[in-house]
């Protein structure tokens, strides 16, 4: 199954409502979609979002990395020779993890189609049904409470609340949401690097003392501040999760060895694709550290791939934050993983199961 061509296109999907975190505000998905074509006519799909604030990658950098550095390494290679081609992608250039992830996902899609089975089954089996939380953007308190109640009405039982602005306001936001939601939903907080270590300990303890149960607090401090992350982890009872501090297998191993976090958030766009995401899950599993499977603002092409990884490593990946498709105004993908609010159903079709992607625009 020789790879004969690699195409890139732009996929634009408006969001239902603007997505706001401590780092950025976005109102639509505008991602790079990669199509790898095999000599038997099969197509493998992948996707990468420009998340400059987190991975440093833009639409321009992703397309240039793929067309000038990564595609020339994989064209002419046999997709059935998976580990070899993954190695060629990973060594094509330094960094550019999302660009690598897009091609790695398309490669895995082709590889699984070649073997005639759903990707998650070939990666280790697992459950074909997942349940995701929903992100509540950081806003005025009343808006966040309304959004949380709306999420409950839509069937979500876990909320990921974006905070990380002013700690007093953040504590008030979470207390108000807890008062409105009660025990009807699990609360996960994501500060997106917005606090110092001492601010984080103070804010989390105030919430603990107020009796607000928190499933976890994600990335309270700057990505590079592993000492600060470890300080928070040791000084609060609530589990702390590393996101921006934990990109690939090496960074994750460092976080775990230093005891800097209790949980790891795996994202294909940080890891550089499926192969490295699996490696992260296996490293974490070896150390008894649970993981969440997360995503950036992505459509159901690359989030489908993340769902396959979560299903294949469900013993370690105990939490799922794959709400990208739920935040989109419509699903541009025919076939593939079915996203229905909190419910994610993996198909029985080979590979990712994607038949077509509507609305692809040439660059």
Q: What tokens does 299 get?
A: 């459509």
Antiparallel, parallel or unpaired: β 43-48 and 25-38: antiparallel
**In angstroms, what is the minimal distance from the CB of 195 to Mg ion?**
13
Annotation says 267 is catalytic: yes
**Which of 309, 218, 232 is closest to 264 using CA atoms?**
218
Q: CA–CA separation, 229 vs 225, rounded Å?
A: 6
Give 206-241 as a 3 state SS string.
Answer: HHHHCCCCCCEEECCCCCCCHHHHHHHHHHCCCCEE
| Only segment of 11-19, 32-40, 211-219, 250-258 that touches Mg ion (CB under 5 A) | 211-219
User: Has 162 been annotated as catalytic?
Assistant: yes
Question: Could you give the angle at the alpha carbon of 315 between the alpha carbons of 113 and 283, nearest 5°?
Answer: 85
Sole window of 27-35, 140-148, 214-222, 229-237 interacting with Mg ion (rule: CB under 5 A):
214-222
Extract the tokens encoding 122. Answer: 């070939």
CB of 175 to Mg ion, least distance (A): 21
- Residue 153, classified by CB atoms within 10 Å of its CB into exposed (0-12), middle (13-18) or buried (19+), is exposed
Q: Draw the binding track, 121-150, toward Mg ion (x: CB under 5 A; -: no contact).
A: ------------------------------
Give the binding-site size for Mg ion (rule: CB under 5 A): 3
Q: How far is the CB of 220 from Mg ion (least distance, A)?
A: 11
CB of 272 to Mg ion, least distance (A): 18
Choose the catalytic residue: 100, 162, 198, 270: 162
> Between 49 and 332, whose beta carbon lies closer to Mg ion?
49
| Among 2, 165, 222, 267, the one annotated catalytic | 267
Query: Which residue lies nearer to Mg ion by CB, 109 or 218?
Result: 218
243 is a contact residue toward Mg ion (CB under 5 A): yes
d(CA 206, CA 197): 14
CB 176 within 8 A of CB 141: yes
The residue among 47 and 244 lying less far from Mg ion, judged by its C-beta, is: 244
Nearest approach in angstroms of CB 329 to Mg ion is 22
Residue 31 touches Mg ion, criterion: CB under 5 A: no
24 or 358, CB closer to Mg ion? 24
Question: Computed from CA positions of residues 271, 273, 276, 282, in that sequence, does the dihedral angle turn out positive or negative?
Answer: positive
**DSSP E strands, 3-115:** 3-20, 25-38, 43-48
Piece of the chain touching Mg ion by CB under 5 A; list 217-225, 226-234, 308-316, 336-344: 217-225
Beta bridge partners of 35: 7, 45
Site string for Mg ion, 167-206 (x = CB under 5 A): -----------------------x----------------
Rounded-to-integer distance, Cα 30 and Cα 100, Å: 17
Contact between 323 and Mg ion per CB under 5 A: no
Instruction: Assess contact for 11 and 332: CB atoms under 8 A.
Output: yes
Residues in the chain: 363
Give the footprint of Mg ion on residues 147-166 (CB under 5 A): none
Residue 86's alpha-carbon distances to 107, 228, 238, 304, 328, in angstroms, are: 8, 34, 37, 19, 30
Nearer Cβ to Mg ion (218/323): 218
Question: Considering the complex, what minimum distance in angstroms separates the CB of residue 139 from Mg ion?
Answer: 17
Q: In the complex, which residue's CB is closest to Mg ion?
A: 243
Residues acting as catalytic residues:
162, 267
Task: By CB under 5 A, name the binding residues for Mg ion.
Answer: 190, 218, 243
């Amino acid at each position: 199954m020789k790879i004969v061509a690699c195409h890139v296109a732009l996929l634009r999907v408006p969001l239902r409502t603007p997505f706001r975190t401590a780092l950025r505000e976005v109102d639509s998905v505008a991602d790079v979609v990669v199509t790898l074509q095999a000599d038997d006519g099969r197509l493998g799909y992948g996707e990468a979002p420009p998340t400059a604030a987190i991975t440093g990658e833009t639409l321009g950098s992703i397309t240039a990395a793929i067309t000038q550095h990564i595609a020339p390494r994989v064209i002419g290679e046999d997709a059935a020779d998976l580990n070899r081609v993954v190695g060629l992608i990973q060594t094509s250039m330094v960094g550019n993890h999302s660009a690598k992830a897009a091609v790695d996902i398309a490669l895995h899609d082709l590889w699984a189609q070649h073997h005639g089975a759903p990707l998650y089954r070939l990666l280790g089996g697992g459950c074909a049904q997942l349940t995701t939380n929903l992100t509540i953007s950081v806003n005025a308190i009343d808006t966040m409470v309304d959004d949380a109640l709306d999420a409950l009405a839509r069937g979500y039982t876990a909320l990921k609340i974006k905070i990380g602005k002013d700690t007093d306001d953040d504590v008030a936001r979470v207390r108000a949401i807890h008062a409105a939601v009660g025990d009807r939903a699990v609360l996960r907080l994501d500060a997106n690097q917005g606090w110092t270590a001492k601010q984080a300990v103070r804010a989390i303890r105030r919430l603990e003392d107020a009796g607000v149960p928190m499933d976890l607090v994600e990335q309270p401090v700057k990505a590079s501040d592993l000492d600060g992350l470890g300080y928070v982890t040791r000084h609060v009872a609530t589990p702390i999760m590393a996101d921006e501090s934990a990109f690939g297998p090496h960074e994750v191993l460092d976080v775990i060895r230093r005891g800097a976090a209790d949980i790891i958030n795996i994202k294909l766009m940080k890891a550089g694709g499926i192969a490295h995401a699996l490696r992260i899950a296996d490293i974490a599993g070896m150390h008894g550290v649970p993981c969440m499977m997360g995503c950036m603002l992505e459509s159901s092409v690359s989030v489908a791939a993340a769902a396959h990884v979560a299903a294949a490593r469900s013993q370690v990946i105990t939490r799922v934050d794959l709400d990208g498709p739920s935040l989109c105004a419509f699903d541009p993908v025919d076939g593939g993983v079915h996203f229905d609010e909190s419910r994610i159903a993996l198909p029985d079709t080979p590979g990712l199961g994607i038949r077509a992607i509507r609305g692809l625009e040439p660059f």
